Amino acid sequence: MNESSKSRPYWGPLELKALEGRGIDIGCGPDPVTPTAIRFDLEQGDANVISLYVKDQFDFVYSSHCLEHMHNPQATILEWWKLVKPGGYLFVVVPDEDLYEQGVFPSRFNNDHKATFTICKNRSWSSRSINVLELGQSLPEGTIVSLQIQDAKYDRRIMSFGPTSPNLASKLAAKSQCFITTLLGPSFSIVLRRLLTAYYPVDQTSAPYEALAQIQLIARKKQS
């Protein structure tokens, strides 16, 4: 998925400032955050231990929807932090556990997710929950400049939370949703979707919704 392109329309001066200069995009796939950013993905090595492959420092280190695939996100983000030069930025985006996983882990929508993320909770429903605030505070000589939930286009009315018991009938109804909506009109759509998601949870970050369900962290390293 082109997660950076999906987020870009919602960026302001703060995000654009954090992406100035020479940078590296970790886990970018075919969608690098800037045309000149150095790409680092599976072909270039293991992002869990990126300092074994990359010996340089950058004005910005960016990663969108990659940290949740790392074996130990707390250790990995410190590895990524090594690549940030003094005065530079670390810009990380991860899925929000309530909006994306919706109360279920391992994830129903991506079985490669190895952790879930929340801004800050004393207690989470997830056994692998990580507080992003604590991640940012763990960065040596770092200051958090942005920490926010991004939920553009996300519709909580059709959100399903916790385990469900899908059956064949509900799956067939979900598949026929577009046809039924066309026949009965858009005003019926939200009622139908809310009924179905009690049995058939929806990943709103995918088509046709293309919503954001994520947490953005931007930290700056102290100038030497």
Q: Tell me the whole-structure pTM to 2 decimals.
A: 0.87
Q: For 190-215, what is the mean pLDDT?
A: 80
Q: Does residue 219 surpass a pLDDT of 50?
A: yes
Instruction: Kindly list the domain boundaries of the chain, sorted by start residue.
Output: 3-155+209-221, 165-197
Give 47-56 pLDDT, tens digit per residue: 999 999 999 9
pLDDT at 158: 85
pLDDT at 187: 54
Distance of alpha carbon 7 from alpha carbon 218, whole angstroms: 14
pLDDT at 197: 61
Where is average pLDDT lowest: 19-23, 95-99, 105-109? 105-109
Angle, in degrees to the nearest 10, between helices 168-175 and 177-184: 50
| Residue 32 contacts residue 39 (beta carbons within 8 Å) | yes
Can you name the CATH fold of 3-155+209-221?
Rossmann fold (3.40.50)
Supply the mean pLDDT for the chain: 89
Q: For 102-109, what is the mean pLDDT?
A: 94
Burial of 156 (0-12, 13-18, 19+ CB in 10 A): exposed
Q: Kindly indicate the confidence band of residue 190, based on its pLDDT and cuts at 50, 70 and 90.
A: low
Q: Which residue has the higher pLDDT, 159 or 119?
A: 119
pLDDT at 199: 63
pLDDT at 102: 95
pLDDT at 168: 45
Distance of alpha carbon 79 from alpha carbon 94, whole angstroms: 17
Q: With pLDDT > 70 as the criterion, what percentage of the chain qualifies?
A: 83
- Helix (H) or strand (E) holding 171, with range, is helix 168-175
Q: Which residue has the higher pLDDT, 113 or 1?
A: 113
